[in-house]
Structure 1
């Protein structure tokens, strides 16, 4: 079952080089004093445009308060997973399981890269506090909804906001799905959702823009390069397919669950 050519057991050195040059270039731009100044000018403008309306627009306030809760992250995860394992959308039904495990493999690789990069960022003193903690006049969602902050972990600030870990997960999903997108509409939907779901942290002030378009992008591109353009995704997905085969032979017998493309045998 599943297309063995979905992930190739070979190196694509050209794409791998690009996926290493882009993160290094982004990081170099960010560390360049002029580049950092431009990022800060843009990010302060972006923050005020997104955050200031919270004080005067109750609908805007409530929408982004809900979107900034931890349980909403779970809702986002379900949406992304549903699109990933939906048969005959981005992936053919016969390719869904391999595609799912390939994404899991690359996501795990990105989590490792993120852990190592975050430790290096701490060592290099690149960390910074989120805009809600340093910009005067910032609107804090937690001030309006103190109960939500205590009960549902409303996310509107961070003392270590670089790189954007939330954004990096959304971006690696979008990059991965974008590689396999079979139409411009699919590509637009994938990236539209990723950008939309990145917004809550930016509106609430938990992250600067640069935490996402520098930190999040470099993590995701690195992971895509070393995961997809090397034999890594091929071998790890084959391993996951083999070790989980007995489980899926049981799940295929379950009502409803057995009809899912990720479960069925082809």
Structure 2
């Protein structure tokens, strides 16, 4: 008998630890003196990553490419491919419940992130991105003005906390890290860091938007799923919803070879 991917049990100690860590990160950021120190560190980090754009053509074109909205869709496909690849993080027969669970957790993340963003705005603590604030910033949108609207080049934001892009990447990374070990876990971590860098290089987000805001959101949501019966419930109900349409797609040539579409 195949073991379930998730256990429908309450893991109170792990849940409390992760939720306390997530809440602690947010509370730390709310302390004015700490937030000032974090932004000072973030400013230095931004200049280290952003300044080479003015001097290196390769650096400029690399991060301009990764800062385009359509490229975000390509990144999403890469992450999805690893998520639904049978035998990489979990056996083939567990791909569907894993996908269903991740989709459910992603919806929860989007809801929590929206509420947090509105709360930050209501408290008057929201801030603009470093590209709009710091002197000497190299703006990709100034260098390539045609890309800002036609290709939605992302190098600025009027409300950059928490890092929305980073929160999704970190949720995926924490989810995949739960099932992988060794080199594969390193691949997961490397991809998450790599795909978070474009917003930091271009200046759309401060570092703490990601390593405080994005991480707190992802950690809180992944813990809520994995350390309670929630993930097991999402896997069971979500798989039932996904199976009929996926069964139909699995009858198509070539597509039927995909782990996600196999019976």
Q: What TM-score, normalized by structure 1, do the two folds share?
A: 0.96
Counterpart pick for 2:199 among 194, 198, 201: 201
Q: Which residue of 2 aligns with 1:35?
A: 34
Q: Is the 8 A contact 1:178 1:187 kept in 2?
A: yes
Distance in 2 of aligned mates of 1:227 and 1:38: 33
Aligned to 2:138: 139
Show structure 2 runs of 5+ residues with no match: none
- The answer to whether the Cα contact below 8 Å between 1:163 and 1:216 also exists between their aligned partners in 2 is yes
* Structure-2 separation of matches of 1:264 and 1:206: 40
The runs of at least 4 aligned residues of structure 1 exceeding 6 Å deviation read: none
Query: Mapping of 1:65-104 within 5 angstroms?
Result: 65-104=64-103
CA contact (8 A) 1:161 1:211 kept: yes
Instruction: Deviation per CA, 1:97-117: give whole Å up to 9, x if none.
Output: 111111111111111111111
Report the more deviating stretch, 245-254 or 125-134. Answer: 245-254
Residues 105, 227 of structure 1: 8 Å contact kept: no
1:252 Cα offset (Å): 2.0
Question: Counterparts in 2 of 1:116-155, with a 5 A limit?
Answer: 116-155=115-154
CA contact (8 A) 1:50 1:202 kept: yes
Listed one character per residue, the Cα deviations across residues 93-139 of structure 1 (whole Å, up to 9, x for unaligned) are 11111111111111111111111111111111221000000101100
Please give the per-residue CA displacement for 1:137-165, whole angstroms capped at 9, x wherever unaligned.
Answer: 10000011001112100000000000000
Which residue does 2:189 correspond to in 1? 191
**In 2, distance between residues paired with 1:40 and 1:89?**
38
CA offset at residue 244 of structure 1?
A: 2.6
Q: Is the Cα contact below 8 Å between 2:96 and 2:242 reproduced in 1?
A: no
* Counterpart position of 1:214: 212
The residue that corresponds to 2:259 in the other structure is 261
CA contact (8 A) 1:155 1:206 kept: yes
Mapped to 2, the partners of 1:45 and 1:263 lie a distance apart of: 47
2:208 aligned with 1:245? no
State the superposition RMSD in angstroms. Answer: 1.3
| Alignment map for 1:160-179 (pairs within 5 Å) | 160-179=159-178
Q: Residue 4 of structure 1: CA displacement?
A: 5.5
Give structure 1 stretches of 5+ with no counterpart: none
TM-superposition CA deviations, 1:38-59 (whole Å, max 9, x none): 2122101100000011111111
